[in-house]
Structure formats: structure tokens, C-alpha cells
Amino acid sequence: MFASIAAAALLAAPAELPRLPPIVRPPQITYVDRSGAVLGVRGGRYAPPVDLAKLPPHVPAAFVAIEDRRFYDHTGFDPTGIARAIVTDIREGRLAQGASTITQQLARNLFLSSDRTAERKAKELLYAVQLERAYTKKQILGMYLSRVYFGSGAYGLEAASRRYFNKAPAKLTVREAAMLAAIMKSPTGYNPVTEPEANAQRARLVLDAMVETGAITSADRSKALAQTPRVWKTSPTAPAQYFIDWLDAETRRLAGKQIQDLIVDTTLDITTERAASEAVRAAAAKAPGAQGAVVSVDGAGRVRVLVGGLDYAASGFNRAVAAKRQAGSAWKPFVYLTALEAGRTPDMPVVDEPVTIGTWSPRNYEGGFLGAVTLEQALAQSVNTVAAKLADEVGRPNVAATARRVGIVSAVNTDPAMALGTTQVSPLEMAQAYAVFSNGGNRVQAYGVERIRTAGGKVIYQRKPPTWSQVVRNPALGDLNRMLRAVVSRGTGVRAALPGYDVAGKTGTTSDYKDAWFAGYTGGLATVVWMGRDDNASMPRVTGGGLPAEAWRATMASAVKRLPVMAIPAGPPPPAPVQAIPVGAPQPELSEPEDEPEAQLN
């Protein structure tokens, strides 16, 4: 009733009104993928006011038609609507009818709580009148559309459009705009994901209202009703939230004190990210209780995929970065690389036989022994006895040094079983290490931020081009690539084969099926898939060559279509053999180097 008294007073004479409180909007950080697609937002809840000039007319018209069809005529409140609300309130004996205009709703959102009290309603009305005096109708509608809640965690039109339809507001159809406007009555009761029928019925009312207000024609309404827009059941960018969580602290460190909205250009490819998420979810569905993670790192260290779990909404724990699990036989390439650098070759004969190192006697997965094999065959079939003997022969500290050299950053144990992957590592660092094999032997540092800029385009941070550091040379690099190709072509990793592409990799399975890995690469891109349970319990006989290899293949099948890949590089040529010069033979003449011009400093 206070609202009606305040309205009557305002209608009688425009009195001096209290000043508007300041409008506060904490700055946001918007993360975009390598192509500019929005991945997510951190920081403030609300986006900047919507620019109506960038929207098709039917989008704002849908909200005006159903929420406040006299919006462009009133001065902040609607006397007709208030009168109707008073009658309803008296009839029902309570404050049942809101009668809030868009401007009043904005006032409530900006300055007040949602308490249903007469005093709050009166303040809402007074603030609405002040807003109308301070801002244009377009500004008011733009602020309203940037702050209203659409359910499913989406505040504002931009977030809602991307959450439900995976598109920018400028691309919304008439039907989609009506569906979003329908949510305004109740973000839970008319949510298009959880209440699709209710939303459809309300959207029909929105379309009717749009016809009545002249926003669209009857033919437009019929066309809209014939459409069935795709509504995303889960956020299309949900898998990328693990990636953003990983970057956010680093972004804030690089950007310094944030006083304005920022845009972060990242390395992620959202299409491949979604493919990886779907692949690992499909794999985990066959292993009840299992979780999964996927990481792809290109030859320069750019993180193209980072999936930290099956469902970000259910669990934000980032297994791609924070989970340290035993690597199993996916660790063996570090053992074999150390042996190759010590002079072994892929064709060197070895014997798969019982072996004891100290008090430890490793066993093979299949239980038996193959007898005489080559090193290449031993790695392809993931023979444990040979790997254990190799590590013992070349020195386990040397294997640890090799692992660190190519990108492993976790503490590496050097007990005899380390050859079989008892060191605990994250999928991210394994992908970082395997990227060295994919790019010709150069060390990479996995990263996700390319550039940080203001909304106006000022660059605050730009990542420098990588400086290459050769950490694996030939012939060892070429020999290891040959051996890891054999793993995929005829070994334990055949399910990862990608016809038409040069692929290499290694399976990994730990004791009691607690962890299963496939780590592999093509030229310029390495991808690692891990599966396991958060409680470290056993999975139902899941091996690295099974579900993880299948998820890896599905991920890479998408990646090779979108990312620059090539045949696995051969790497630098091996050093030329040193030829001894016989005593007394004439020494070769050394030519004097030509003088280099001095660098110009000015």
C-alpha cells in the first residue's frame, strides 16, 4: 500500500527525490579460446550494459512485450499496472501482485533486496523514477538485460544466450529470444532445460505479446513456433572451466591490480575440448565410478585441451593438474630414451625372463615370458622385466634425470620399481613431456595465456615467442619415435591408431587397475588420457590400451581436423662421427671467418 501512496504523490507533483546510490559493478575477466569463442567469465557477476544497437530488434522487444509493454511510455512506474495490483492485493489480502516495470526491476536489482515488503516496494518506485530521470530508455533496458537472472547460473543476456543456445545474443532467433524472455517470470519454473514444457508455453505467450505490441507479425510468430531450437542441457563451455580455474591465478598475477574489464586470449580450442570431454565421459560410462582427465599440448607448449573431470558442476577438482597418480608403463619411454642415449638400439636383442633386482621380482601383465625379443618388441608389448633391467643397467638416477629434462616436474623416486612407473605425476606434466617427442626434441613449457587486453584493446600482457632448447637428440629421438610408433601399430596401443596419421604413444596400467593411461602424439601435438577413481580403488580391469586409448583416438580425431599437425619430426641430424687424423698426416687448413658487420645501436 505504501507503493500506491508513493505513486499518488509522484503523480500529483514531482517532489525532490533521494539521490541514487552509486551503481557498483566489479570488473570481469572474460576468457576466450584461440578463435575468440567465449569460454567463461571470472570476477564480477554482471557484464557491462547490453548495447541494444548490436542486437536484432526482436530481442529487446521480447522482454518489453512480456515484462513491461508500456516501458517506452511511462516515467518509471505504470499507474495502470499499480491500480491493477492494488485490486489484486486487496482481494487476496496480501502483497501478491508485483506490477513492477522493467525500470523498477532494475532499481531492485541495483539497490535493493527482493524482500516482499511495502517499504521496499515504495523505495523501488522512487529509485525507478530517479533512474528514468538519469538515464535514457535504451540505457535502462541495457542495464536491465545485463543484470537479470536467467537461471542455471546465468546472469545477464550474454551469459544466458551462451548457456542455453551457445551463441552470442546478436544471433538469437525470434523463438530463442522469446524462450529467454519467458524465464523472467521464474528462473526455476520456466527454465528451458529443467522445465521445457513450461518454458514453451510461456514462450508462446511472449510471441503473442510481441504480435500485440507490433514487434513481429503473425507470420513471424508462426515461423518461430515451427522452430525447435537446440537447448544445451549442460553449459557448452563447462569442460573449459577446469582450464580457466588453472589459468585464473596466473592471469591475475600477470595483469596486476584489476580496475577494469579484461579479455584473456587463451590457447584452448573449445571444439576439441568438448570432443575430449565427450570422449572421456563415454569411456568412463563403461567403468562405473571412474573419473577421467585429458590434456593436449602442442609442440610449442600451448595447451589446446584440458579436461579435469567428467562433470565440472558435480566436481570442480582439477584432475588434469592437481591429481598425482602413478604413471604405470606410460613412464617407460623415459627408461628407453635413457637406454637409447646410452648406446642401445631398437633392434638390440634382449631376453624377457625372470629377473630379481634386490628383493624385487617384476612380473609381466600377461604373467609369462616372451624369451628373446628386440628392444622395440619389448616396448611395444610393454614387457616389464626388460624395462626393469634396462633402468638398472643405465642407472635409475639417470632415468629420473631424463624424465625431468623432458618436462616431469614432480618428485621422481629411484627405487627399482620406478622403471614401471611408480612415480606420481599429473596428466598435464605427462603431456608436457610427451610434447618433446612430438616436436623434434625441444623442451616446452605448457601454458594457456597468450595475451591479456582491456575491453578497449590495450594490451597488458603478451607472451613472448618460445625459445627452443634441444633436450633430446638423434639418433635416440628417432629410435624412440620408431619404437613408440610400433606400440600403436602392433603393440598394446593398437586401439589408438588413427588411419592416415603418423601416431606414436604408450599405454600405462598400474597395479590392481587403479590407474589407466594412454599418452601419445602426432607431429606437433601430444595428448594424454588418464582414467581412475578418486578414492584410488580398482577399476573393472580397465587398461591403458582399452578405454583410455579409445578416448585418446576420439580426441585426436577431432584435434587433427582443427589444429596444425604433421608427420612426427625427425629431429636434428645426429652428430657426425669424429675421424681420427693419422699421426704425421697434413692438418686441414682452417679458413679465417669473415668479419661480421657491427650491429647498429641507433
Residue 188 belongs to a domain: yes
pLDDT, position 5 = 45
Specify the residue for cell string 619430426: 569
How many angstroms separate the Cα of 338 from the Cα of each of 31, 352, 383, 438, 495? 40, 19, 17, 17, 27
User: Do 114 and 170 fall into the same domain?
Assistant: yes
Contacts for 78 with CB less than 8 Å, ≥ 6 apart: 68, 70, 99, 101
Q: Are 372 and 408 in contact (CB under 8 A)?
A: no
Locate 261 and state its grid cell.
Answer: 574489464
Number of domain units in the chain: 2
Residue 212 belongs to a domain: yes
Residue 32 belongs to a domain: no
Residue 344 belongs to a domain: yes
Tally of helices (H runs) and strands (E runs) in the chain: 19, 14
User: Do 404 and 524 fall into the same domain?
Assistant: yes
pLDDT, position 91 = 65
Q: Which of 225, 256, 289 is the last residue of a domain?
A: 225
8-state DSSP, 364? -
Tell me the backbone φ, ψ of residue 384, rounded to 5 degrees.
-75, -40
pLDDT, position 548 = 98
Bridge partner list, 371: 352
- Compute the distance between CA of residue 503 and CA of residue 145 in angstroms, rounded to an integer: 49
CATH number at residue 279: 3.40.710.10
Amino acid at 572: P
User: Do 337 and 198 fall into the same domain?
Assistant: no
User: Do 155 and 71 fall into the same domain?
Assistant: yes
* Range(s) of the domain holding residue 106: 45-225
Please give the mean pLDDT across all residues of the chain.
Answer: 91
CATH number at residue 98: 1.10.3810.10
Q: Which of 404, 474, 472 is nearest to 441 (CA)?
A: 472
Residue 423 belongs to a domain: yes
pLDDT, position 457 = 94
User: Do 509 and 394 fall into the same domain?
Assistant: yes
Q: Is 329 a catalytic residue?
A: yes
Locate 247 and state its grid cell.
Answer: 589459468
- Active site residue: 146, 329, 426, 558, which one? 329
- Active site residue: 4, 67, 152, 296, which one? 67
Residue 595 belongs to a domain: no
Residue 20 belongs to a domain: no
User: Do 360 and 282 fall into the same domain?
Assistant: yes
Q: Which of 383, 401, 389 is nearest to 338 (CA)?
A: 401
User: Do 390 and 505 fall into the same domain?
Assistant: yes
Q: Which of 296, 302, 309 is nearest to 245 (CA)?
A: 309
User: Do 316 and 444 fall into the same domain?
Assistant: yes
User: Do 396 and 496 fall into the same domain?
Assistant: yes
How many angstroms separate the Cα of 550 from the Cα of each of 503, 507, 574? 14, 11, 35
Residue 11 belongs to a domain: no
pLDDT, position 594 = 34
User: Do 212 and 295 fall into the same domain?
Assistant: no
User: Do 285 and 369 fall into the same domain?
Assistant: yes
User: Do 181 and 306 fall into the same domain?
Assistant: no
Low-confidence residues in the chain, pLDDT < 50? 1-3, 5-6, 8-9, 11-13, 96-97, 580-581, 583-602
Q: Is 410 a catalytic residue?
A: no
